[in-house]
């Protein structure tokens, strides 16, 4: 592969596997492609799957603009239980009553989260506080104050016929934490909730349906063949 082709750059749509960090994906692709200048456009938690856009060469300059594009997620909330991390990273730390919750309440609760809302990121997150990641403080047992932020949710819909595990679809802006949405959704129901599965399905016009499994990229030739499909 020519140095010119590498420096021109390109990007791949990756379907991130469960329990891989976003950096795990970049590290693996860096080793396979032998390209040093490579990065991803938007972190996915290890317990999330789905669309991760990986850029290399000059296309790394596009990372910031890709990150600002709207995201779409699907997944499930478990109503009536909470965890410290708001997802399955930590064990259930409290249980709540759910008998009072009706299908109408569930639907009405989703409406209150559509539009510009104030949201507090999880303590177990990659948000930087004084040069360190929030999860580093959380894992060492240090209490830190998480600052709220304004995020935009353009769509939030759920399926009510599988309660207390509730499937959802969310379309939102950069910086939205679906784990925090789960927590806030549970509180809105005068109960509790946490995230039990998450899949990123879209970033802007890019769809996970067109993404590649990491298991399909075994060589440098595979890397560049797949990258060619998404250059433009």
Q: For 8, phi and psi rounded to 5 degrees?
A: -60, -40
**Gap between the Cα atoms of 59 and 56, Å rounded:** 5
Is residue 45 annotated as part of the catalytic site, yes or no? yes
| Side-chain-facing half-sphere of 224: CA atoms under 13 Å | 15
Residues 6 and 57 sit within 8 Å (Cβ to Cβ): yes
Active-site position among 15, 24, 45, 161: 45
Tokens of residue 199, six digits: 């899949």
| Side-chain-facing half-sphere of 189: CA atoms under 13 Å | 34
CA dihedral 34, 36, 42, 45 (to 10 degrees): 60
Q: Which of 16, 68, 25, 11 is nearest to 198 (CA)?
A: 16
Active site residues: 45
């Amino acid at each position: 592969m020519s140095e010119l082709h590498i420096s021109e750059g390109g990007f791949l749509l990756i379907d991130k596997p469960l329990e891989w960090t976003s950096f795990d994906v970049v590290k693996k692709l860096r080793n396979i492609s032998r390209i040093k200048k490579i990065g991803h456009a938007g972190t996915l938690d290890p317990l999330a799957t789905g669309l991760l856009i990986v850029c290399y060469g000059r296309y790394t300059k596009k990372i910031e603009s890709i990150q600002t594009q709207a995201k779409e997620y699907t997944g499930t909330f478990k109503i009536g239980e909470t965890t410290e991390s708001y997802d399955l990273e930590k064990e259930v730390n409290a249980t709540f009553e759910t008998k009072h919750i009706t299908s109408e309440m569930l639907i009405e609760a989703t409406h209150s989260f559509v539009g510009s809302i104030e949201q507090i990121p999880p303590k177990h997150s990659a948000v930087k506080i004084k040069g360190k990641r929030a999860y580093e403080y959380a894992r060492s047992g240090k209490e830190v104050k998480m600052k709220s932020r304004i995020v935009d949710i353009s769509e939030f819909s759920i399926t009510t016929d599988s309660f207390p595990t509730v499937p959802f679809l969310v379309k939102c802006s950069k910086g939205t934490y679906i784990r925090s949405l789960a927590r806030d959704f549970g509180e809105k129901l005068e109960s509790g909730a946490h995230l039990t599965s998450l899949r990123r399905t879209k970033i802007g016009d890019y769809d996970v349906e067109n993404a590649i499994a990491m298991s399909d990229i075994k060589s440098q030739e595979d890397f560049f063949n797949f990258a060619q499909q998404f250059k433009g």
